[in-house]
Structure formats: structure tokens, C-alpha cells
Structure 1
Amino acid sequence: MTKDTLIRAWYALHTKSRFENVVNERLMGKSIEVFLPKIQVPSKRRDRKKIIQIPLFPGYLFVKTDLNPYEHLEIVKTTGAVSLIGNARGPVAVPSEDIESLKIMVVANKEVITGYQLQEGDRVMVVGGPFSGMTGIFVRYKGINRVVINISALGQFASVEVNEEDIEILPEKTS
């Protein structure tokens, strides 16, 4: 593969938790084109009424590269970087139109609602509230921002109702 056959494209880069800004700054310092979409949200702290900027996709940012071996290595060895998102054949490019749409969305400075649709059977972990640390299986949505999760033990299950914002999907087991 020669330099002429490599095409620059956008790729999603997975980062360590809360390392998006560090990776963004380090990659810019390496003169690699990077895009970290951020949105403004009210702080969740009870003692403040402050607007803060957070990543639109926590744990991810976008890099534009042609994946030449040197640049690819520079990207993945950046402090806080985990891996480029892809499949068995390698990193998969994100369409340029999607990146442009994200840039327009972020610049518009309007409320952006993010999230993912949980599917019945998704393994989840509660990361906030009184059930923090508990893992279970997503059962269904119950009203606005409420979900039901089953926890099984001894061949039986118990269900709890939690805030949707207090859960995260766990990666599928690969065993």
C-alpha cells in the first residue's frame, strides 16, 4: 500500500473514561485533525447552577487520518486512547456527512438530547442512585426516564425501578 492509495477519513476513537479532553489535546499537539463534539448542560451538582460543557459521546472522539502506519500508531499510543472503532478487518470510517452534521449540531448551541435505546435483555449496571454497583438485565421502559431491571440469583429474579440516566450498558461477554 503506498501513500497515494491511502484516503483520509474520519474514524471514531474510543478513549478511557473521562479522558476525552486529554486525548483531544494530545492529538492536536501531534498535528492530527481531531473533533470532540461537546454540548452544554446544566451541572448535576446540587450546590451550583452552572452550565458546563461535556462530550456529546462520552468516551469517544473523532480523528481524521489516512491510517498510514506511523499516524495510526501515534493515535493509538496517545495517553488515554483505547482503540479505533472497527471490525475484524480494521477501523471503520465514519461518513463525512455525519461529522459535518455533528459540527452543525454543536455550533447551533441548542439543546441536544442524547442516549441510546435500550433493548430487552441488555446487560446493564446501575452507576448512580441507591442501587449503584448493581448489575442486571434491562426489562422495559416505565414512564419518562424510568426503567425496570431484573436481578437474578438462586434461579429467581427481583425487579427494581431506576432512573434511566443512572444505568450504563455493559459490554457483551466474550467467553
Structure 2
Amino acid sequence: MTKNWYVLYVKPKNEKKVAQRLSALQVEVYCPMIKEVKQWSDRKKTIEAPLFKSYVFINISEGERQRVFDVPGVVRYLYWLGKPAVVRDIEMETLKKWLTDDTVENYSLTKLESGDKVAIKYGALKDKKAQIIEIGKTRVRLILEGMGVVLNMKIKDLA
């Protein structure tokens, strides 16, 4: 029985609780945590917070995917191109290694949005700069700077 890493969307501020409950059900779960310094008016405190707000990762077989909904706080699976998003083992290992590597001092997570500028790294348009116009489920529209054209791309299903 093949297991895959899936991404679960959980209720806000329930990441730790859901991870503990899933673990109690013998489900392999990973909730990446980071240390953050919170500032209040009278003090500072270092807390452990989830790296990805409202998400936890689980390693489970296709046939067992439904049983996670027995856990309070689980909302749904994250989908990509109409299918439950599967995270490759190598990506999970990289994430785990990165979080345990004490040479990383600062980080930031950003989501691509309309208006963002990007550089194309691969393919026929390698090294071209573009601005994102629109991001859909399976398509992306870009303005290629310096060429004066709009590029409509269909994203290949990676699953």
C-alpha cells in the first residue's frame, strides 16, 4: 500500500491540536513549527508557531484518506488541478532539513499574485522577465517585458 504526503487544511489556530489527534490515530503527521518572538505592550515572548498557517502534512495511503475527517478541526484536503495535492518525499525531506538547519536565520513565505514580477528560469523563454496578470487553477497570464506580448500558459499537471 503506497503512502503519499497530502496537505490538510485545518481550522485556524488548530494546527498543533489536529497534529496531536492525528498522531494518536497512528497517522504520520508533520506540522512544521518555527520560533517567533511576539511583542506585547509589557513584554516579549518566544513562542512556537506553525510555519504554514492552517495547514498540516500527513503521510497516508489513498484508501485511508477519508478517516482524517474523524478528527475535529480538519476542514478539507488542499487540491491542485482538481486532485488532492501530493507533496513529494524529497520536498518533505528538504523542508524538514531546512527547519532543523541552524544556519538559516531568517525566512519569508510569499504567494504569487497578480502584479508580481518574475523571471522565467526554464524553457524557450529562459531569462525573460514577466509580470503576472492573472493566476487561475490551470492557467497563468503573463506580460513579457521587453517583448510587448501577453503569454497565456496552461500549467502541466505535475501529479
Give the ranges of 4+ consecutive aligned residues of structure 1 lying more than 6 Å apart after TM superposition. Answer: none
Unaligned runs of 5+ in 2: 117-159
Q: CA deviation digits over 1:26-49, x for unaligned, max 9? A: 000100000000011111323222
1:44 aligned to which of 39, 44, 50: 39
Which residue in 1 is equivalent to 2:13? 18
Cα pair 1:39 1:54 within 8 Å, conserved:
yes
Unaligned runs of 5+ in 1: 1-5, 123-175
Identity %: 30
1:114 aligned to which of 105, 108, 112: 108
Cα pair 1:56 1:114 within 8 Å, conserved:
no
Q: Aligned ranges for residues 1-175 of structure 1 at < 5 Å?
A: 6-68=1-63, 71-87=64-80, 89-109=82-102, 110-117=104-111, 119-120=113-114
Which residue in 1 is equivalent to 2:137? none
Distance 1:112 1:97, change over 3 A: farther
Amino acid of the structure 2 residue aligned with 1:99: M
Q: Secondary structure at the match of 2:39?
A: coil
Q: Secondary structure at the match of 2:62?
A: coil
CA RMSD of aligned residues (A): 2.1
Aligned equivalents of 2:78 and 2:4: distance in 1? 13
How many aligned positions are there? 115
